[in-house]
A and B are shown apart, each in its own frame.
Chain A
Amino acid sequence: MTDIQFLTPRTLDDAVAALASAQGAARILAGGTDLLVQMRNGAVRPGTIIDIKKIAELTSIEEAANGSFCIGAAVSGAELAEHPRFGQVWPGVLEAINLIGSTQVQGRASPGGNLCNASPAGDSVPAMVAAGAVVTVQGPNGRRQLPVEAVPAGPGRTNLALGEIVVSFTLPPRPAGSGDAYLRMTPRTEMDIAVVGVAVSLTLSNGVVTAARVGLGAVAPTVLLVDDASKALVGSKLDDAAIEAAAAACRAACNPINDKRGTITYRIKAAGVLLKRAVAIAAERAGRA
């Protein structure tokens, strides 16, 4: 029987070195709400467990002078909910993160873990995509940044290179008149996994949409950025035709699985419905911002 190592590096450099030297046999531990379940059912058997929560950059929430937010990958949903400003600026991202699991799970689960677990149904990911979040990763070859939608590669797989760790999410400064929202459809009302998740981020100026991004979850092998939905909304006054065009773009982007929790037909139809509802909430929030 091989010894399992448990490491608590204090710096990112040490964490990256530990991950590299384990040659693929290590797992990063943030909140552990996916990892411990996978270890218990035998899906993963890490030789090394690297707890990244002693690294300051991975556990901090910073609002920069220009209004951008930097969220450490291992920050818990509960910590984000308690931040005095984050939920005011990004209510849709916060509601998406806070939909993940129970109060107990919120005490541990992190947006970095949700992204790296790479479930197509991860709730925080569409909201981060709509927000235009940029992910900072660090690996043996240094740091790089990539848009959040470039991270998932398929169910359970990411485009991170071997030895790379997700460090943080940077959400851009928020212009006046902006709002975001996330809605998901689940068979149960709570404690369930999305069969469709839609996130919308909008900026309005004098009633005209000047910027829009739409993230779509649980209806394809990866979370999607729906460019055609953005195009349908930008320049409009959110009239019925523009919203219907954006809903149609969402339906067209769907490539869902068919399972007992939601059929293909249902998921595609619900994607359009949720888009319309999420647009309405985001617009209402934008009007107040």
Chain B
Amino acid sequence: MAKLHVTTTINGEPTEFLCEPNQSVLDVLRNTLGLTGTKEGCGTGDCGACSITLDDRLICSCLVLAPEIEGRQITTIEGMAQGDHLHPLQQKFLEMAALQCGICTPGFLIAAKSLLERNPDPSEAEVRYWLAGNLCRCTGYDKIVRAVLETAAEMRGASR
């Protein structure tokens, strides 16, 4: 099968890869590029574990074909911390125990970051609606929602 050559930008780094026309972005991230921080849950867009941003738009990477990201910018969980310096959301998830098994965590972090970039002061309901496409079977969600709200408050304080 003729492979396609795709040139894209991942976490700010120009990246090239070869893929099949019917491969998903998730598959290429994990199995071709070794970026295994993005998790596969359902593979059908229901669980949000594979959340990434595509040109700053939150999407499920299992629902995007790899050749579609030609010439575009994606960010994954690997781009969230700056070196050893965790993103405030990552730090707060640790402090507030907003994770247990951790499989859903990269997706929640990417989705929450995308929310706070659009809305630095979300209500609890807005957080819950925005994250409704991310499933967690461990925490019961409350700790995650509280961590996002706490981070938002802290980030607003820091930017004043």
Contacts and interface: CB of A to CB of B under 8 A. Distances in A.
B20 A104 contact: no
Given A37-B44, A49-B65, A104 B111 contact: yes
Contacts of B64: 32, 36, 108
B58 A103 contact: yes
Given A3-B2, A49-B21, A103-B58, A36 B63 contact: yes
Contacts of B106: none
Contact of A78 (B22, B48, B57): B57
Interface stretch (B7-15, B75-83, B92-100, B125-133): B125-133
Contacts of B1: 1, 3-4
B133 A101 contact: yes
A29 B63 CA distance: 11
Interface residues on A, range: 20 to 34
B22 A49 contact: yes
B156 to A, nearest CB: 21
Contacts, number: 88
Interface in B111-126: 111, 114-115
A190 B21 contact: no
A123 interface: no
Contacts of A32: 63-65, 68
B68 A51 contact: yes
Nearest to A82: B118
A32 B115 CA distance: 23
Interface string B47-74: 0100100100111101111011010000
A108 B59 contact: yes
30 contacts: A3-B1, A3-B2, A4-B1, A4-B21, A6-B22, A6-B65, A29-B65, A32-B64, A33-B45, A36-B62, A36-B63, A37-B44, A37-B63, A39-B22, A40-B44, A49-B22, A49-B65, A51-B68, A78-B57, A102-B133, A103-B58, A103-B129, A103-B131, A104-B58, A104-B111, A105-B45, A105-B60, A108-B60, A191-B46, A191-B133
Interface of A: 1, 3-6, 8, 29, 31-33, 36-37, 39-41, 49, 51, 53, 76, 78, 101-105, 107-108, 190-191
